[in-house]
Structure 1
Amino acid sequence: MEEAIAQLRAGESRPLPSGLAVAQGVFYVGTGVWPIVHLRSFEAVTGPKPEGWLVKTVGALIAVVGGALLLAGLRRRVGPELRLLAAGSAASLAAVDVIYSPQRISPVYLLDAVAEGVLIAGWCVSAARDWKLRGPQPPPPQYTSPEDAAGFPT
């Protein structure tokens, strides 16, 4: 148990977060690069886009996020910052998919929202497992005087 806690504190990851990071990374690199490499086929699936440059810009950003996730997952170094990036990216993309799909964008984006939802659920399960593994945390130190709070020896 102490070794597992030490690994968590060192930023090392177990199979679930590493696997999630790799899966999300591959998904994001693929979907991010696709409109850059072949916008016409991307639009054939997702519908026409009035601003090709904007689609490519968003694709590039998604691909960069995917690359970071993929690298961290392969190195088994999935720390809290990367978990936030992964879950936050999935939640942001899912929100856009759900909000705009019925009105302004192709319904095919609802399939993406489902994939993003699976990723979000995976990150939630991972966080719950980590929280359970850590167990109760000791309370923060209590200070009795301003000198103690400032770190002065008494």
Structure 2
Amino acid sequence: MANASQHGVLSGVFLFQGAYFVITGLWPVLNMPSFIEATGPKQDTWLVEMVGLLATSIGVSFIVSSVRKERLPLVLAYTAAVSFLVMDLIYVMSGTISRVYLIDAAVQFIFIMFVTVFVVRKAQKAQRHG
């Protein structure tokens, strides 16, 4: 198990990522015109809104887990961040979506790295003490 300071740092990372997911998820739901202006035209705005609501749901779960000092949802964190990162990269490289999505890809990559460092350190510590 992680010590209190390690969990505190990771909890802060989850709090930031949760807020990021909520803000970016609600943006197209609350103001689709500004979202389209920043990210480019969309054919199926209902799908953009659905992805936004799913991101918001993930973000809320991260925030609640962090604030309540509950067990952090590491599997959800990895899979969500990797999913957004992969889609951002594939569809920016194919020219389907705007290069502005590379900002999101960078945020997802940083989050993945923070969580990875935490998990690796936790495993190394368990190996030394086990």
TM-score by length of 1: 0.77
Establish whether residue 100 from structure 1 lines up as the match of residue 97 from structure 2: no
Alpha carbons 1:21, 1:78 under 8 Å: kept: no
Report the alpha carbon displacement of residue 17 of structure 1 after superposing the two structures with TM.
1.7
User: What's the Cα RMSD here?
Assistant: 1.7
| Aligned position for 1:114 | 106
Report the alpha carbon displacement of residue 137 of structure 1 after superposing the two structures with TM.
7.5
Of 11, 19, 37, the residue aligned with 2:30 is: 37
TM-score by length of 2: 0.90
**Superposed CA offset, 1:83-124 (max 9, x none):** 110121111100000000122001100111111100000000
Of 67, 72, 76, the residue aligned with 1:74 is: 67
Of 17, 29, 46, the residue aligned with 1:53 is: 46
Report the alpha carbon displacement of residue 136 of structure 1 after superposing the two structures with TM.
4.9
Report the count of equivalent residues: 127
Report the Cα distance in structure 1 between the residues aligned to 2:88 and 2:82, rounded to whole angstroms.
10
Of 85, 90, 108, the residue aligned with 2:81 is: 90
More helix by share: 2
SS in 2 for 1:105: coil
Kindly name which structure, 1 or 2, has the bigger radius of gyration based on alpha carbons.
Answer: 1
Give the fraction of aligned pairs with identical amino acids, expressed as a percent. Answer: 31
Alpha carbons 1:29, 1:66 under 8 Å: kept: yes
Residue segments in structure 1 that go unaligned for 5+ positions in a row:
139-154
Report the alpha carbon displacement of residue 16 of structure 1 after superposing the two structures with TM.
2.0
